[in-house]
Amino acid sequence: MSEATEKGKQKMSPFFRQLVAVSGVVLYMIGTGANIAYPGVLLQQLRLPDSVMHLTPEHESWIASILGLALISGILVAPFSLQKLGRKLTNQLSTLPAMGGWALLVASKGPAAILASRSLQGFAMGLQAAAAPVTIAEYSSPKYRGAFLATIAFSFATGMLVAHIFGTLLYWRTAAVACGSFYFFSLILISISPETPPYLAAKGKNNECRKSFRWFRGNDENSQKELEVLLNSQKKKLTPKVAKFTFYRQMITKPEFYKPTVIMMFMFVLFQISGMTVVPSYTVPMMEDVSGGTIEAYTSMLMVDVVRFVTAIIACVVVNKLKRRTVLFLGIIISVISLLTAALLLYLRDFGYIAEEYKWTPVVPTLCYIFGKTLGILPIPWAIAGEIFPLAYRSIGSGISGMFLSVMFFVVVKTAPTSFRQIGINGTFCVYGISIAICGVFLFFLLPETKGKTLYEIECHFRGEIEKEVCERDMMLELRKVEEG
């Protein structure tokens, strides 16, 4: 079949095909955002006098934080699933416990059932936290990869906004049905998309890889070159199997594995310590304290959601236009300054240095903090997670770094109510601001720039200068073969 004939058979552009495939992941990440934010409205409704069930403060903290513990189980399964079952099947299977969790939540009659439902959701989130950045990166061409990976941040923000809107307008059981429906539509889109080309190449399924790659990227000259480099780079790695202990021992000594892993540990610690999952779970009480009661609770919650949603849209553009490091450190600087400013204003208000009519002023830097963390701290860790690990170790690396994400999720969310009580919102903001700054300093020295590079070029970077030169030379030789062939 000629190239022109094959092009003619493609009714959709490569960009649109990539968009369709990525949208399946985006929809279940919207569900993740809803999972995180839903306690913010669920707990408010269950505190009402006529509620069908009544919860203790301990119940409430566990309902908000148990996702973090359940995430660990999903993260532990994810490397095996991604490696053995593939990206597509892992994504498909991950939607099932999520839908089951929402269904159990709808039918729940007590705290135990709610905790069980949240555990199912958390397990699904663990699988998806590892699978989403890897899948999107492998679906995307370098030209669009930054924007597509930034849709993870957009998905989080959208899910949080949707959960809070549904929870404000609807009874909590009805809102749960609406939130859970995103996983159903996600399953449909995932099912109609092919397996990712890098996974097929890693398994030696070259014919299937070519077919999948051309489905996503078309058959132009640049795509053909990238395909041949991908296939040839994997041929060299299809060596006889070694014992698992030997494989893992060799793996942890390789800079292309341990350097990205350390970077992603700091990335996900930064992600959680910035209050990324605390704020959606405790938006109402947090904003009541910040505003000094001058703004109605649900109004302040929707203010935060709208700022986060609009900023996430901006981030999709910014991440694709600017360098990853620029966006990340811009978000870190804005977040740190805003948090410390908000904390200072809250301290001044508590000591009576701010007049009664200006009690609301800490709201302004708090919204700036939401803007800063959504612009840089929310999208960049997920963008880097999808790019930074070499194909051979991508599943394992995503699982290990995801473990830090899940442990920090539980620790930060579970301790937030105690932190608010013991040192106040102002003290908590100080802790978050200082922690963000510390993580930022480490990442400033550790994180390389990945924008515009192929996944193979990023892998070469971490191998060191000598290995990098060998990689570049091999890549040039492969490209020359393609041009001559």
pLDDT tens for 351-395 read 888 888 889 999 999 999 999 999 999 899 988 888 888 877 887
238: Cβ contacts below 8 Å, ≥ 6 apart? 204
Mean pLDDT of the residues in the chain: 86
Distance CA 12, CA 133 (A): 24
282, amino acid identity: Y
244, amino acid identity: K
∠ CA 87-395-262, rounded to 5° = 145
Check if the beta carbon of residue 335 is closer than 8 Å to that of residue 274: yes
pLDDT of residue 240: 53
pLDDT digits (tens, 9 = 90+) for 159-202: 999 998 998 899 999 999 999 999 999 999 999 999 999 999 88
pLDDT of residue 485: 52
Residue (of 193, 202, 82, 83) closest to 132 by Cα position? 82
13: its two tokens: 């552009």
pLDDT of residue 5: 40
| CA 437 to chain CA centroid, nearest Å | 21
Phi, psi of 327 (to 5 degrees): -65, -45
pLDDT of residue 77: 92
- Indicate if the pLDDT at residue 78 is higher than 60: yes
Distance CA 306, CA 58 (A): 30
Distance CA 266, CA 442 (A): 8
The model carries a pTM of 0.78
**CATH numbers and ranges of domains, the chain:** 14-200+242-453 (1.20.1250.20)
Distance CA 309, CA 433 (A): 22
Length reported for the chain: 485
258: its two tokens: 């341990």
CB atoms within 10 A of CB 13: 10
pLDDT of residue 7: 46
Report helix, strand or coil for 83: helix
pLDDT of residue 328: 95
Rounded to an integer, the average pLDDT of 17-45 is 92
